[in-house]
Amino acid sequence: MMRETEESLYEGEVLTGRYYVDEDRPSYGEEKQAIGEMPAEPLAERYWDDDYEWERSHDEFLDKHA
């Protein structure tokens, strides 16, 4: 299965999914959401929301130098 994966990646295919499912352990995304390192809502969803106020990580640094 790993060889098929490497061949697909080499050919430029975008892969998603898991090789196995451990029902006692959350997925990587679920773990990141639980500790606050990943938003529950996909960031791409925000792009289409006209009412969303965008934040930039460098804004706080710009304020210090203004």
Domain residue spans in the chain? 19-46
Backbone region of residue 56 per phi and psi (left: phi > 0; alpha: psi in -120 to 50; beta: other values): beta
Give the whole-angstrom CA distance, residue 13 versus residue 7: 9
At residue 44, the pLDDT reads 75
Stated length of the chain:
66
Give the whole-angstrom CA distance, residue 17 versus residue 30: 14
Give the whole-angstrom CA distance, residue 59 versus residue 66: 11
Predicted confidence band of residue 66 (pLDDT cuts 50, 70, 90): low
Q: What is the pLDDT of residues 7-65, one digit of tens each?
A: 988 898 888 877 777 788 888 888 888 998 888 877 777 777 777 776 666 666 666 66
Give the whole-angstrom CA distance, residue 46 versus residue 56: 13
At residue 57, the pLDDT reads 62
Predicted TM-score (pTM) of the model is 0.39
At residue 23, the pLDDT reads 80
